[in-house]
Chain A
Amino acid sequence: MTDLDKIIASLREGKHIPEETVFKLCLNSQELLMNEGNVTHVDTPVTICGDIHGQLHDLLTLFEKSGGVEKTRYIFLGDFVDRGFYSLESFLLLLCYKLRYPDRITLIRGNHETRQITKVYGFYDEVVRKYGSSNVWRYCCEVFDYLSLGAIINNSIFCVHGGLSPDMTTVDEIRTIDRKQEVPHEGAMCDLLWSDPEDVDTWSLSPRGAGFLFGKREVDQFLEKNGVELIARAHQLVMEGYKEMFDGGLVTVWSAPNYCYRCGNVAAVLKIDDDLNREYTIFEAVQAQNEVGNAIIPTKKSQMDYFL
């Protein structure tokens, strides 16, 4: 069993990973991720997965229900961290798989993979609880900056976390971004991670305060201009796990069942076969288990020593 396999086993059990190990993992991941383009090429067959949000046990279910990384190729559309209580383990597990099976996992950056957002929505807090300092959070944020902004499957399916940008409407243009940075508050890089499809006539302001709303017209133009047939994205909770829009030109995939441990939704992944057929797999939240198979209740770790 290699070191990496050992770490993977520990992560799957939700065990504590030493800080130095995390640092090494992060550094090695940087090297791997730097070799990928802003929009990285992926071959079929491949399984597309949406938001995970630190729900480690549901991530394990996802792998179980969809074939497992040993046999299947995956694209994760971002938002690995925040909200759930196991952001660190979820993200590190994906990094380890990436290091272990580089051509079988593609990780795309979500709007939560940033310093500012993770400080507010849980990941930062989780790391401080688990380690007593923010170092591990810093290492992970550095890796976030190296994540791809999108992927393209067989030159036919464009994958991105949020959606489209009015500033850059071709894949070639997206390649001109120097992506190694904190996600800006505006501009193409921001839009790709923040935008949402909506029933609108043209680019519209997003209620999220970042990115845009885009409609069928924008999707059709993008598909035509880039010679692709589908945009696969995540970023929005779908109670049914997935939702196709605009005559099937766009799909939202959501992979965090019972989001925030209380939304009651199911999750989905989308498998694309060699003929670009789409096959959705739906799964529900299951009770989390510890290393010896006993059921556990997901919760935050309490803070470390209390000196006052």
Chain B
Amino acid sequence: MSLPGTPTTSPTPMDEDIEQTVSINSEPKRVKVYVLENNEWKDTGTGFCVGEVDESKFAYLVVSDEDSPNETLLKSKLEGNIEYQRQEETLIVWKDLAGKDIALSFEESMGCDALCEFIVHVQRNIESNISLVTVKSSDNGLGSVHDIITGPVTLPSNDPEQNGQTLLEALKILNENTSFDFLKNETIEFILQSNYVDTLISHFHNAEEEKIPKDLFLLSNIIKTLILYNQRDILESMVEDDRIMGIVGILEYDTEYPTSKANHRKYLESRGPNFKEVIPLENEDLKIIMKKCFRLQFLKDVVLVRFLDDHNFSLISEIVMDLETCIIDFLQVGTFLDRLIVLYDTNTLPDSSSEREKFVQKRKDGIRLLQQCVQMSISLDALDRSKFYKTLVRKGLFKVLDYAFHMETDSNVRILATDTIITIIEHDILLIHNVQNEDSFKQQHKLAPDDKCSSRNNAQDYSYSTDSKLLLILSTILLSDKSPGLREQVVQALNTLLHPEGCLGNNEGSCDLMGRCSNESKDTSEDFPSFGYGLNSDSINLNNYHYNNDDMNDLDATESEFKFQVKEYFANFYNRIAPILFEPLIKRENIPKMSERSGKIKKTRKDDLLLIHLVKLVSFVCTEHDRVLSRRFILENGILDSVSKLINSNHILQLRLTAVRCIKNIICLDDKYYHRYMISKNLYSPIFKLLQENIDKNNLANSCIQDFFRIIITECRVHQGDNHNRGEDGNGTHNISINIAKVKSNSNRTNFTILNKYLVQTYGNVLRKATYIPFIQDMLEIGEENQPEHSSFENSLEGDTDSVNISSDGLTSNHLEDIDVKNVKRLHSEIEHFGDDPHYSSDKLAFKKSVDQMNAST
């Protein structure tokens, strides 16, 4: 043992296996021996080299002459602190204690390997102060790279008596030892095998008691240095029960804040190890893992937050993730989840009121617990996540959600329940549906007679209703709960549930399934021309929404089954959910029953906040869903009329502008039915009132309307082949669209030119006041041009008799190609997409549309 303050040298494991030395006396290797004389390497002969250990345990490199084996060319003792250098593949070079430079040049690298092994063996077992390093020329050919293969390792003193001197020395050594892998690994071995960390912790307690700041800061730096070794076992050992307090205690001191001290220990004592056990955990191992996990996160997020580098951070995250995977696995094995979910059985409420109160609190905590588990699962890999969620659903997650949404009144708890459901559906929107289906299958076939499905009374009910049940619950919450946070979450959940691409999961190539559905279901689209904008419809005929699936025979069964499910799902949404969800926007005169109720709804700011969400949802369903399906619902219920009314000044500006954006998104669909509807119903009028209010102001309302004009004029320019105003745009991205536009320039009556003409004719007086807007002049010019009535391009569309007249405002509509606009969408600005959504700039929009038109007309 060394004295305090003196670094111990090489306590490398002394492996006592002397027998091994014999085996090291290996086959002779052919070698040339050189010595350095007068700065020149002199060849002293060729022979065979062996490593030898004699009876008195002295080790030698011995070369005997190849011509006369009894003659020794070299016998060099491995001793003292000789450094052997292996240069490239076949050379070993060293200076012996007498100062003589010797080099062995091996015939083959295998020979060199064998003797290097011998040197390593001798270092480890006999002469611990010799070393072997390799020298290789670096990759760029300049200079060389050194690496230590073996040698003495300086390690910190592990003497129980520590002081400023030993600590300073230790810090220096620990830092230096990071420079070579060999030294680093030996040091790690030392830390793990010895009780060094405990020695530090015990000195920490002394130093704190005796108030020796220097030692405290040194200890903190030593621990940080050990953390920088970025070694999993070291990190895990630091958070063990008997060390964690010492470690975070030491880390309360930070040289960057020499006059302060953090209070991590206090925090851990008061909260850390005391987990709230809603359901007692039976598994002790699991408890240990949870503690470890919690402590590592605490280190990562709080104690070391300003200190960790990217490597440390990702290593700790990785360990935490492994532990979390473990926890989630454990939870699924035992009865834990069953015991949790049974809390939400309706008939388990205790009799006494105090017990009942406790029980209600327990139910709240249970939801928190579930949310935390589901939150934890986010970092797991996809398969593990699916497995866990399926287990949850099978065990009866819906019972918990039912409780949260029907019995629980605390918005904060409802928020957590919604969060849970969002996490699951965002991971796999069909998961709940599939698990439920699987249940119903089992029930039908009596495969699981003991499967208690107490929450579902009616087997027939959930063949279609599990998803819509969720939609219904969410819709009701959105309309009734006033908590703004919950509303936002619910809207996010609805967006996910109602996203057609989400429903299709990762099924490659079927992203446009909803779009294809509409093209393939010819029956439905041919029905459409007779459809009269809902003005005369009394109620929605449910049967009309059922799709014809004749054309699915050529698809394989799974896909068509899947496709069918998606169709059913959306048809069901429009039949059952949408009328409830969008009730506040449904035109009153169509639904007399509602108008009575609506009288009671006060026009308050809170209602406006709800309406903002609903209007965004309208934008969303119009742009994302199957056009025929959504348009029918929107138009039959006069939704756009309501949206347009919301632009009026009796609403908060946020809502008014949201409504303008909804109208903008719908015109971007370039859908002739919407375009004609909005013109015929004069739905643009409130936009111009809003413009008049803000005509000379530099504000958001003004910009929002400028954007509306920009959309129209950009589209008109494309269709007019009018490119002379676009020279300023500079980066040439318009060329393609312009060329195509020229091809199409004869068909100058498009939705947008009609709209522009209509706006200029109807609101020209307002527009003329706003000529400071860069493109208003263009709008006026294009709008005032005399357009040939019944223009010639009608002829180009022979055979199509789908012509619709809008006579109410004197506009004669030409019929237009039913262009495939499913891909033409604008980023509807107010719908929050949390994933990546393709963003179509107006250039791309124009380009795509032109291409689509060409395709349609050829």
List residues of chain A with CB under 8 Å of any chain B CB. Answer: 19, 23, 30-31, 33-41, 85, 115-116, 129, 132-136, 138-139, 146, 166-167, 169, 172-173, 175-182, 184-187, 203, 260-262, 287, 295-303, 305-308
Contact = CB atoms under 8 A, between A and B. Distances in A.
Contacts of B276: 305-307
Interface string B693-704: 000011111111
Contacts of A23: 484-485
Nearest to A34: B700
Interface stretch (B259-267, B424-432, B761-769): B259-267
B774 A173 contact: yes
Contacts of A261: 306
27 contacts: A31-B652, A34-B654, A41-B698, A132-B412, A146-B700, A167-B729, A173-B774, A175-B703, A176-B703, A178-B664, A178-B829, A179-B700, A181-B829, A184-B827, A203-B731, A260-B306, A295-B259, A298-B306, A300-B302, A302-B267, A307-B276, A307-B278, A307-B372, A308-B275, A308-B327, A308-B372, A308-B376
B653 A34 contact: yes
Contact of A178 (B306, B707, B728): B707
A153 B709 CA distance: 28
Contacts of A297: 254, 257, 260, 262
Contacts of A287: 257, 259-260
Contacts of A185: 836, 839
Contacts of A35: 697, 699-700
Closest 3 CB pairs of A and B: A135-B485, A181-B829, A37-B698
Contacts of A34: 653-654, 657, 699-701
Interface residues of B, number: 70
Interface in B406-435: 412, 415-416, 419
Contacts of A40: 698
Given A85-B305, A134-B419, 20 more contacts: A19-B485, A30-B654, A35-B699, A40-B698, A116-B834, A133-B485, A134-B485, A146-B700, A166-B730, A167-B731, A176-B707, A177-B707, A178-B661, A178-B700, A178-B708, A179-B700, A297-B260, A300-B302, A303-B297, A308-B327
Q: Which of B259, B709, B730 has the most CB of A within 10 A?
A: B730
A14 to B, nearest CB: 15
Nearest to B653: A34
B316 to A, nearest CB: 14
Nearest to B419: A133
B582 interface: no
Nearest to B709: A176
A184 B833 CA distance: 11
Contacts of B511: none
B606 to A, nearest CB: 11
B306 A182 contact: no
Contacts of B488: 135, 138
B773 interface: yes
B392 interface: no
Given A172-B774, A177-B707, A305-B276, A187 B832 contact: no
B839 A305 contact: no
Contacts, number: 164
Interface of B: 254, 257, 259-260, 262, 267, 271-272, 275-276, 278, 290, 294, 297-298, 301-302, 305-306, 327, 365, 368-369, 372-373, 376, 412, 415-416, 419, 484-486, 488-489, 652-654, 657, 661, 664, 697-704, 706-710, 728-731, 772-774, 827, 829-830, 832-834, 836, 839, 841
A182 B306 CA distance: 30
Contact of A169 (B275, B728, B832, B833): B728
Contacts of A116: 834
A184 B305 CA distance: 31
A138 B484 CA distance: 10
A34 B702 CA distance: 10
B485 A138 contact: yes
Contact of A180 (B290, B372, B704, B774): B704
Contacts of A176: 703, 706-707, 709-710, 773-774
Given A173-B774, A177-B703, A299-B306, A308 B257 contact: no
B661 A299 contact: no
Contacts of A167: 729-731
A301 B365 CA distance: 22
A254 B611 CA distance: 41
A133 B706 contact: no
A36 B698 CA distance: 6
B153 to A, nearest CB: 31
Q: Which of B369, B661, B698, B709 has the most CB of A within 10 A?
A: B698
A90 to B, nearest CB: 17
Contacts of B701: 34
A308 B289 CA distance: 11
